[in-house]
Amino acid sequence: MTEQERVAVVTGASRGIGRHVADALEGAGWALERGSSSVAPVTDREALTAWVGDIVDRRGRIDLLVNNAGVVDTEVDLFASDPDQWWHTVEVNVRGAYLMTWLVAPHLLAAGGGRVVNLNSGAARRPARVASAYTVSKTALARLTGSTHLAGWERGIRAFDLMPGVVRTDMTASMQAHTARTEWTSPQEVTDLVLALAGGELDAFSGRFLRAGIDTVESLRALASRGLGADERTLELVLRPGDPLA
């Protein structure tokens, strides 16, 4: 199979990180299908079903899904949040990724396997005082990644949580949390990892977190070569020895 025959689908690819990822994959020879900048379709099962069906009709296969489309809620605490906006954030960031994974998985299997890269966040690791919907959605996304890994591992599907760090985009530039930021993750640090994941170089990290700007392809190869613990780079409940929940 040639590079050009491999088909990648990237949601939210018209701007920001999604655009950088799509451009990098296309530059590496992948046949690209780009989701629009509008977030509404990623929560619309009917629209997504038609889109994925059209891709398969034209391309004949799908080998890679990058779930990038996402939004962040207003940076206020939970009590001051707007319920409609809060739930919309969860729907876009979780339902969108779930629907795309659910729709694309049969075609990954038909192609003999494939990969799903979920653009996650450090916000998945712990609660936050503000933008609670974003935090909740990214924690839930990690569970979706883990479930995809467990359902797909023996059938050739690999799934990853990629934390992109803080890339300068329209979304991050609008956030109060980054107003005084002077150091940013470069787009290339993100795309280098995506290309390695897409090419199967880092399959040992299926079901696990990677972080652009800290991890490199080389450092991850070294980490994999020494062996990964069962729960390493995963989101788990930490219990002290002797705790009755253990």
CA atoms within 13 A on the CB side of 168: 7
| pLDDT category of residue 238 using cuts at 50, 70 and 90 | confident
**CA pair distance 61, 7, nearest whole angstrom:** 7
Q: pLDDT digits over 74-103, tens only? A: 999 999 999 999 999 999 999 999 999 999
Start-to-end CA span in the chain (Å): 47
Residue type, 195: L
Residue 227 has a CB neighbour count (10 Å cut-off) of 8
Q: CA 230 to CA 211: how far, in whole Å? A: 19
Q: Does the structural domain 3-225 have CATH classification 2.60.40.650?
A: no
- Whether the Cβ atoms of residue 159 and residue 148 lie closer than 8 Å to each other: yes
**What does the pLDDT look like over 12-66, one tens digit per residue?**
999 999 999 999 999 999 999 999 776 668 999 999 999 999 999 999 999 999 9
pTM above 0.85, yes or no: yes
DSSP helix/strand/coil, 151: helix
Could you give the angle at the alpha carbon of 146 between the alpha carbons of 56 and 244, nearest 5°? 160
